Amino acid sequence: MTQETRKSDLSVVVLCYRSEEGIVEFIQQMEDELRQDGLENYELVLVANFFPGRSDKTPEIVRRMAAENPKIVPVTLEKQGMMGWDVISGFRAATGDAVALIDGDGQMPARDIVRLWHVLKSGEFDFVKTFRSKRLDGPRRIVVSRWYNLMFHALFPGRPFRDINSKPKLITHKALDRMHLCCPGWFSDGEIMLEVSRLDLSFAEVPTVFHRNEWRASFVSWRTAIEMVRYMIEYRIRYWKRR
């Protein structure tokens, strides 16, 4: 899609997997924040991909929301991967000059979209993200996250990023079109950051508060962390081969 055919100033890609009714309140909060800031030309790409045979009302809820709100773009496909596959399918549906990525569980405040949007639209940066300066999600998640970030920086030294998995992440569509994203699994955030580094994009990081998830069980486990490390090693080998 060319610059001339962009439909919106900002596309917000929201990962809604198994959010069910909780996504309704989160999207209402986000729209309130966007409108209070005076941003009207936006779209919300709600990614509610699903595994057949598993109980998940989210695709139905997202389609219902889209029928009632023309700013909502539903993405409800049969899943062929995990988070990374959802991210890629959401990015493909986004039409904005800038694209934001955020989880739909409410742990990252909807207000952060507005805060980062102002940083990005200054024109100084191609990419902006948060880092979690304060976390309220419990010691286990904090330990897993610190361990993951240590492993990332050990395998990819010299990358000046903090808190690889923190969202929202905002990027110009022009820069996003240059990225080669293919990871279907849980290393999606890491792949995005490696692409930021490979393309030498200008970037900024903004502090945020990460809240406890009150209404949905976390998908992050030690098994998930081990899968992330496996992908990290695969990408490390791939980068060596490129050199």
Report the distance separating Cα 120 and Cα 61, nearest Å. Answer: 31
> What 3-state class would DSSP assign to 200?
coil
**How many Cβ atoms are within 10 Å of 135's Cβ, its own excluded?**
18
Average pLDDT over residues 191-202: 96
Cβ atoms of residues 14 and 100 within 8 Å: no
CATH number at residue 91: 3.90.550.10
Looking at residue 142, its pLDDT comes to 85
Looking at residue 4, its pLDDT comes to 47
Cβ atoms of residues 224 and 147 within 8 Å: no
Task: Dump pLDDT digits (tens) for 24-67.
Answer: 999 999 999 999 999 999 999 999 999 999 999 999 999 999 99
Number of structural domains found in the chain: 1
Domain with 219, as residue range(s), is: 3-242
73: β partners = 45
Own/partner contacts of 171-174, CB < 8 Å, gap of 24 or more, are 171/98, 171/99, 171/120, 171/126, 171/127, 171/128, 171/201, 172/97, 172/98, 172/99, 172/120, 172/126, 172/127, 173/1, 173/6, 173/11, 173/94, 173/96, 173/97, 173/98, 173/99, 174/3, 174/126
Looking at residue 141, its pLDDT comes to 81
Cβ atoms of residues 127 and 203 within 8 Å: yes
State the pTM of this model.
0.92
Task: Dump pLDDT digits (tens) for 81-102.
Answer: 999 999 999 999 999 999 999 9
